[in-house]
Structure 1
């Protein structure tokens, strides 16, 4: 028998660009370059980059506008200015004092300025005009008492009655002994800036 012929072993040629074609020095350099791996980026780097790319929202200059539509309507203010009568107190003492002082002012024995804060400007002007007429009439009358003796004859309040007709409104009737006669005064008081004030005064 004839022995089989031996075939030569053919090795594939190395591909271009591989480490087999390169010199030993190049292969060592390539292996070293591949071994160096850059570090992975940190979260802080991403946060810094995001903050730099995101534009900041600035508030516009000038006054800002506010809306109260969501809060609902505001409660209405009380413009009447009327307080409960309990806070004003009892007006009886004021009615008696004003009636008493007005009668003595008409006689000229008490200064009318004492009533300036207790009565309205209209009442004060009316009392002033009436007092001037009464003083002039007494001076012309014959046999009038001297001024010092007339000042000694003081009047006094006999009785008074006060009726509350509405919140902050009251009316009173005051009876005064005026030396030789009895006089009655009708008084109406109303609330004014947190206190009572006489707005009507009629003396009989």
Structure 2
């Protein structure tokens, strides 16, 4: 946008910006808040954070499906040992054993499928995650706590609904 600053004979035009204190729309978020340009370092940190969240969501989905499969007798419970800490593994092994002893339907079962997984970072070394798993005509919900232990992410608590 330009404004003529003199008489038409002088034909001088000056560019006018948004003015002081006005934030250009390119630097606003959808809610209208100002977002300064990120430095390359900040952008790199943000990318690593997003990659970590994708990893934790993937881990939560895999573990949720494996726990449901173990409980339904489609997977040996000992395969959960790589993902779960000792106390949580013991709890899941007991749950799978009890489900095996009380199961009445021994026919072929459909394999569970993870529908979605979400996570929330509680601290730099702790995430809480949830996942939903479809088993035949039912959908199961699982909640997990995932902690960094000796440079590995381990599930330290599982609640199955």
| TM-score band, normalised by shorter chain | 0.5 to 0.7
Larger gyration radius, structure 1 or structure 2: 1
Runs of 4+ residues over 4 Å off in structure 1: none
Q: Cα RMSD over matched residues?
A: 1.6
Residue pair 2:78, 2:93 contacting (<8 A) in 1 also:
no
Give 1:72's aligned residue.
Answer: none
Residue in structure 1 matching 2:137, options 180, 189, 204: 180
Aligned length, in residue pairs: 111
Does residue 100 (structure 1) correspond to residue 65 (structure 2)? The answer is yes
Normalising by structure 2, we get a TM-score of: 0.65
Q: Which runs of 5+ in 1 are unaligned?
A: 1-85
Deviation at 1:145, TM superposition (A): 3.9
SS at match of 1:116: helix
Does residue 113 (structure 1) correspond to residue 78 (structure 2)? The answer is yes
SS at match of 1:188: strand
Q: Which runs of 5+ in 2 are unaligned?
A: 1-47
Does residue 166 (structure 1) correspond to residue 123 (structure 2)? The answer is yes
SS at match of 1:157: strand
Residue in structure 2 matching 1:154, options 97, 107, 111: 111
SS at match of 1:154: coil
Higher relative contact order (CA 8 A, sep 6+): 1
Q: Whose strand proportion is higher, 1 or 2? A: 2
Deviation at 1:179, TM superposition (A): 1.3
